[in-house]
Amino acid sequence: MPIMKITQYALSGLVAVAAVLVIRNIVSSLPHATHAGTVNPPAAESKSIPSADGKSAQYWQARHETGNLEEYSWWHFEGVPTGTLKVIPDPTGSGRGSVLRGEITSAAPPGGDSHRIYPALLLPECYRGGYRSSFLVWADLPSPAQRGWISFATYSHKKEWKDLFGVNLGFEQGEDRLVLFHVPVFSKGTFTRISSIRFPMRQWVKVEVTVDDSGIMLLQDDRLIAEAKKEWGAEGVGLCEAHWGLYGQDKNRSGLLLNDDITVNLDNRFDKPPRMVRVQTKGKP
């Protein structure tokens, strides 16, 4: 082949590669859609946060196969009992074995009280570092107008729930969707919507959060759907307490929720076992 033709082919290849790189740079520089109804095209796959040895270690798991609530360290009701918590055989026909069942049963909750029907995980001292937590949830809940806010999970990086973030069930553009709350600070809900995936009722859904000092990622069925920054304070990112179950606004007077396979994986070494205190008490801890 003549040298001139070889040179032409080489130049053509370089031009094509350069064009691809330019396009990729343009795409990567586009900002994510903020939480205002706009959505980025296709959601990313699940991202993991590696620990120093390349994987995070499981700290705690509740699979509910014991048939009781002993896998949890602590739980309580605020005010008066507004529902029930039980571990029962999976009623959905999905063959999940035993599952956690939370039901709101109060027809007239006390004014100003929120329903708190949940088991909790209490660490003896706060863990510091990144972590991952996942759980399965099956929900049969009233319409948004009737239920108000509902929280599926809460993770606190300070003792006594002094600062935290929540995975809530929200309502956007006519659909039930998972949202992040108490970000970047308590009482705020400022996050970036990566993909709009409807949260289906009466169906098992996997929910996962990955957390590090740069922020929080929320995944539904292994797809990244939202990200948020969190102000961790002087203590830095970490985990002190967490709870799941059915936790909602006082206006919500009915609802059923199932949980299974709740896990907490820590990126850094932490050998102190959870507190195993079983009490029912009034008021917040």
Same domain membership, residue 104 and residue 6: no
Q: Which residues pair with 209 in a beta bridge?
A: 133, 218
d(CA 24, CA 1): 33
Of the pLDDT bands very low, low, confident and very high (cuts 50, 70, 90), residue 14 is: very low
- Identify whether 80 is part of a domain: yes
Lowest mean pLDDT among 11-20, 52-61, 135-144: 11-20
Amino acid, single-letter form, for residue 71:
E
Q: pLDDT exceeding 70 applies to what percent of the chain?
A: 72
Of the pLDDT bands very low, low, confident and very high (cuts 50, 70, 90), residue 190 is: very high
d(CA 192, CA 32): 7
Structure-token match 């999905």, residue found: 94
pLDDT tens for each residue of 21-56? 333 333 233 223 334 333 333 333 333 344 444 567
Of the pLDDT bands very low, low, confident and very high (cuts 50, 70, 90), residue 111 is: low
The sign of the dihedral angle between the CA atoms of 243, 274, 216, 56 is: negative
Structural domain of residue 24, as residue ranges? 1-30
Output the pLDDT for position 93.
95
- Identify whether 251 is part of a domain: yes
- Identify whether 197 is part of a domain: yes
pLDDT tens for each residue of 252-285? 888 999 999 999 999 999 999 987 655 544 433 3
The token duo for 91 is 């009623």
Same domain membership, residue 141 and residue 8: no
Same domain membership, residue 150 and residue 88: yes
In terms of Cα–Cα distance, which of 237, 272, 265 is closest to 51? Answer: 265
Output the pLDDT for position 19.
39
Of the pLDDT bands very low, low, confident and very high (cuts 50, 70, 90), residue 128 is: very high
Of the pLDDT bands very low, low, confident and very high (cuts 50, 70, 90), residue 131 is: very high
Output the pLDDT for position 253.
83
- Identify whether 275 is part of a domain: no
- Identify whether 272 is part of a domain: no
- Kindly state the helix (H) or strand (E) to which residue 162 belongs, with its residue range: none
Output the pLDDT for position 151.
94
191-104-145-174 Cα dihedral, nearest 10 degrees: 50
Q: Is the pLDDT of residue 222 over 90?
A: yes
Same domain membership, residue 242 and residue 135: yes
Output the pLDDT for position 115.
77
pLDDT tens for each residue of 67-84? 888 888 665 555 566 788
Same domain membership, residue 94 and residue 3: no
- For residue 37, give the 3-state DSSP assignment: coil
d(CA 180, CA 167): 5
End-to-end C-alpha distance for the chain, whole angstroms: 81
pLDDT tens for each residue of 151-185? 999 999 999 999 999 999 999 999 999 999 999 99
Same domain membership, residue 78 and residue 23: no
- Cα–Cα–Cα angle for 61, 73, 94, rounded to 5 degrees: 40
Q: What are phi and psi of 147, to 5 degrees?
A: -90, -25
Lowest mean pLDDT among 21-25, 100-104, 225-229, 275-279: 21-25
Distances (CA, A) of 182 to 67, 146, 282: 33, 22, 24
The mean predicted confidence, pLDDT, of the chain is 79
- Secondary structure of 169-228 as H, E, C letters: EEEECCEEEEEEECECCCCCECCEECCCCCCCCCCCEEEEEEEECCEEEEEECCEEEEEE
Contact 149, 249 (CB under 8 A): yes
Distances (CA, A) of 67 to 12, 64, 86, 178, 253: 67, 6, 9, 29, 27
Output the pLDDT for position 69.
82
- Identify whether 283 is part of a domain: no
Output the pLDDT for position 228.
97
Output the pLDDT for position 218.
98
Residue 244 sits in a domain whose CATH number is 2.60.120.200
In the chain, the number of structural domains is 2
